[in-house]
Amino acid sequence: MGGRVALPLVQIAVGAALGYTGVLSVRLEPELFFLLFLPPLLFLDGWRVPQQDLKDNAVTILSLAFGLVLITVLGIGLMVHLMVPAMPLAVCFALAAVLSPTDIVAATSMITDMPMPRRVLRILEGEALFNDASGLVCLRVAVAVAMTGVFDVWSTAAHLLWAAVGGVVIGLALSRLISLAKLWVATQLGEDTSSQIVISLLTPYAAYLLADALGGSAVLAAVAAGMMMSRIEVSGKLLAVTRIRRSAVWETLQFTLNGAIFLLLGEQLPGILSRAELGAAESGHRGLEWLALYVLAITVALAAMRFCWVWVSVIIWRWRHGMLSGWDALPNWRLVATMSTAGVRGAVTLAGALSLPLALPDGMPFPSRDLVILIAAGVILVSLVVANASLRPLLRGIEVPPEPRLDTQERSARVEAAKAAIAALAQVKDGAKGRAGLPDAEELAAIALVADYYQHRLSQLQPAEPTRAGAEPVHREEHLHVLAVRAERAAIASMVRGHRISNDLAHKLLRETDLAEAAFQTASEA
């Protein structure tokens, strides 16, 4: 397992092979790339991110997403200017800005079967939600300075403030309005599952385009829209079938878009490498070894800055929580190194570099554009390769704090939900007994059967300690349910092969068994 190559690297290699052979040739338009790929992926991340974890780690996440980005832009920008004096300072800052966003999808795909502390993972996910926005805003400012030669501190500060606040407010408000409109239409006309799914797919694009048109951060608008949608839809007012189908659509879309991003990134590499000589010449050194040196130096500097920032952030967090006493309380260097190495660069970095203008307002070529693109592409590849080689060894054997299978909050929620179900069934039973004449025996039997099921769930949830040599009966029961459901599925398959039932009926029954198995497996893993 130690030599496993992560899926993003495989996808990049496939894309590069397709681009090199000419089978696939795509002229990547950065603005179109951002519009097609970023809104749905950011919206989905905002929708699914655990908001309580986000609140608990807000200081650390915001310091990484905004503080570290700003320090990276300044530090790496000045470093590049010292290494390559021929590159204007504003362009150096633009390069640093495109290198500041991280790609958590690529990082986590490399360690899918390795343990990672929950807090570390949530911080990385939260950081990736926001640093695209901060990095792209810094890029916009740097490009504006490079184009005009003017830097107005107060105007820039006001622009950054509006971009952040305006983007969040627009995303939250638009998502709220769309949700209210969907609920009203569903109430008046009935809920149409397909329409609900299409609206959920279009919402991030609406938030992104509206924020962009009003000068706010389109990236933050898409994230905020997803977070608002998550808060609204926990009310459970949608039909169950709508939620199930929508989840399947979004899962497929996420996998497709992420795969397409890395394929496109790989497809662009042959064209970028063909300009390597020209890019190296822009640095003042014609040898390609200088270009490789720049890439390695910048990659090391990015990792070192990130390591130091995370180390200090962890110490401050422990000091604030009264956990800093003695050498044993210092951060685990392997976890800090993991967070540093997991900050890989991805397609947003490449698209940002490609979005640099071709020419200045006076018609002269934009300075060092090819060199910026080459360095960005090199840093992406090196960071991915380093992460693929080092993340698994860093995490192997690391002590991960045990998390309870069913913590107090979850157990209480399940108990309360089961009691609410039993109370509702009791009301139905009382209503049946109160009707004129004798109640329907079949109806009472059905109520009793369902009530027994919930009573059994309660009996499994309420004991604090597992029984019989530490075994957990609820999980044994769920495994038996899964076994029974699979037997049902085998019987259905046998009947359809024997032409005893139609294909349509078989699809319907198999769908029911699939949903039942998924529910029981989720419960057994809780």
- In this structure, the chain runs to a length of 526
- State percent of the chain over pLDDT 70: 82
- Please give the C-alpha separations between residue 496 and each of 245, 501, 502, 512, in angstroms, as whole numbers: 25, 5, 6, 16
Three-state SS at 368: coil
What pLDDT, on the 0 to 100 scale, is given for residue 469? 46
What pLDDT, on the 0 to 100 scale, is given for residue 89? 92
> What mean pLDDT do residues 395-418 have?
65
Answer whether 267's CB lies under 8 Å from 19's CB.
Answer: yes
What pLDDT, on the 0 to 100 scale, is given for residue 132? 84
If one compares 492 and 83, the residue with the highest pLDDT of the two is 83
Does the pLDDT value for residue 115 go beyond 80? Answer: no
What pLDDT, on the 0 to 100 scale, is given for residue 471? 45
Give φ, ψ of 105 to 5 degrees. -60, -45
d(CA 142, CA 97): 8
What pLDDT, on the 0 to 100 scale, is given for residue 188? 80
Alpha carbon 371 to chain centroid distance?
30
Does the pLDDT value for residue 236 go beyond 90? Answer: no
What pLDDT, on the 0 to 100 scale, is given for residue 493? 80
If one compares 479 and 354, the residue with the highest pLDDT of the two is 354
Structure-token pair, residue 314: 């962890």
What pTM, to 2 d.p., does this model score?
Answer: 0.77
Closest alpha carbon to 373 in 352, 359, 393: 352
Q: What is the pLDDT of residues 149-158, one digit of tens each?
A: 877 778 778 8
For the chain, what is the mean pLDDT?
A: 80
What pLDDT, on the 0 to 100 scale, is given for residue 152? 76
Answer whether 63's CB lies under 8 Å from 313's CB.
Answer: yes
Please list the alpha-helical segments (H only) found in 22-152.
Answer: 30-48, 51-56, 58-62, 69-83, 89-99, 104-109, 118-148
- Longest Cα separation, the chain: 98
What pLDDT, on the 0 to 100 scale, is given for residue 304? 94
User: Which residues neighbour 3 within 8 Å (Cβ) at sequence distance 6 or greater?
Assistant: none
What pLDDT, on the 0 to 100 scale, is given for residue 475? 54
Give the DSSP H/E element, type plus range, for residue 258. helix 240-273
- The one-character DSSP state at 330 is S
Does the pLDDT value for residue 94 go beyond 90? Answer: yes
Residue 124's pLDDT band (cuts 50, 70, 90): confident
> What mean pLDDT do residues 219-244 have?
80
d(CA 526, CA 461): 12
Give residue 30's identity as a one-letter amino acid code: P
What pLDDT, on the 0 to 100 scale, is given for residue 356? 87
Q: What is the pLDDT of residues 184-209, one digit of tens each?
A: 888 888 778 888 899 999 999 999 99
What pLDDT, on the 0 to 100 scale, is given for residue 468? 46
Answer whether 207's CB lies under 8 Å from 221's CB.
Answer: yes
If one compares 475 and 139, the residue with the highest pLDDT of the two is 139
Does the pLDDT value for residue 327 go beyond 60? Answer: no
d(CA 375, CA 419): 60
What pLDDT, on the 0 to 100 scale, is given for residue 270? 84
Does the pLDDT value for residue 303 go beyond 90? Answer: yes
What pLDDT, on the 0 to 100 scale, is given for residue 433? 65
What pLDDT, on the 0 to 100 scale, is given for residue 112? 65
> What mean pLDDT do residues 284-309 have?
87
